[in-house]
């Protein structure tokens, strides 16, 4: 069973429908006990980092999340679900994250340009992945494949070995990470058409 954590911040139904389309049962749950019993965990998220952390804490999800990660169960973080794994974020001040992946969440710099034109923040739309390490969820995804992004902040891991893919948007930034049972993406698989469904299918098949 795949548990999609409902802590009030995320496009949960579209993630659930994505799993259903590729043949996997997924439940949206606001119950930490269901998270503890699940075979696989998905942490989506949209919105502001401090609000997400507050909701995770108030919903009683932090300890169950840390336990299932330590147990080695497959975990997929999406967008803010990636950022929350890190030590801290600079969004609206400095705020502590789950500290599962050492590093920071920082804002895109002002004045980024491409081909002489200023790039807008948030980074919104389709962009390419450059594969650095290939986790199981990227099986069948070619280098340079396009996925859908919506974000103003990006992650800076302290350990470069956790970087699975990077993407260029004014700068080269980490667009997904992989460490043991943990995979997390800055892009949205559930909004990325067939290639996104491939990632969800691969995750559903992870042992």
pLDDT digits (tens, 9 = 90+) for 74-103: 999 999 999 999 999 999 999 999 999 999
Number of domains into which the chain is organized: 1
Catalytic residue among 91, 123, 151, 188: 188
Task: Tell me which of 52, 88, 123, 190 is the catalytic residue.
Answer: 190
The answer to whether residue 190 is catalytic is: yes
Give the CATH number, domain containing residue 70.
3.40.50.880
What pairing do the DSSP bridges indicate for beta strands 171-179 and 182-185?
Answer: antiparallel
pLDDT recorded at residue 72: 95
Structural domain boundaries, residue 103: 2-204
To the query of whether residue 123 is one of the catalytic residues in this protein, the response is no
Q: How far, rounded to the nearest angstrom, does the alpha carbon of residue 6 sit from its chain's CA centroid?
A: 15
User: Choosing from 25, 52, 79, 113, which is the catalytic residue?
Assistant: 79
**Whole-structure pTM value:** 0.96
What are the DSSP calls for 81-138, one per residue?
Answer: HHHTTEEEE-TTS-EE---SEEEEEEEPPTT-EETTEEPPSSEEEEEE-EESS--GGG
Looking at residue 103, its pLDDT comes to 98
Task: Give pLDDT < 70 ranges for the chain.
Answer: none
């Amino acid at each position: 069973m795949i548990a999609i954590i409902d802590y009030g911040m995320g496009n949960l139904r579209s993630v659930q429908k994505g799993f259903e389309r590729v043949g996997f049962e997924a439940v949206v749950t606001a119950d930490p006990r269901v998270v503890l019993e699940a075979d696989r965990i998905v942490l989506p998220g949209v919105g502001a980092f401090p609000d997400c952390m507050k909701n995770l804490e108030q919903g009683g999800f932090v300890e169950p999340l840390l336990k299932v990660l330590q147990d080695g169960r497959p975990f997929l973080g999406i967008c803010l679900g990636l950022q929350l794994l890190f030590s801290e974020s600079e969004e609206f001040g400095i705020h502590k994250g789950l500290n599962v992946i050492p590093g920071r969440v920082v804002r895109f710099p002002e004045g980024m340009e491409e081909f002489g034109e200023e790039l807008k923040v948030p980074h919104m739309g389709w962009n390419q992945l450059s594969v650095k390490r290939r986790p199981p969820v990227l099986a069948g995804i070619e280098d340079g494949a396009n996925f859908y992004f919506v974000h103003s902040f990006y992650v800076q891991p302290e350990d470069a070995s956790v970087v699975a893919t990077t993407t260029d948007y004014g700068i080269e930034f980490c667009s997904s990470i992989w460490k043991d049972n943990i995979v997390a993406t800055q892009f949205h698989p559930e909004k990325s058409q067939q290639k996104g469904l491939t990632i969800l299918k691969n995750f559903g098949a992870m042992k």
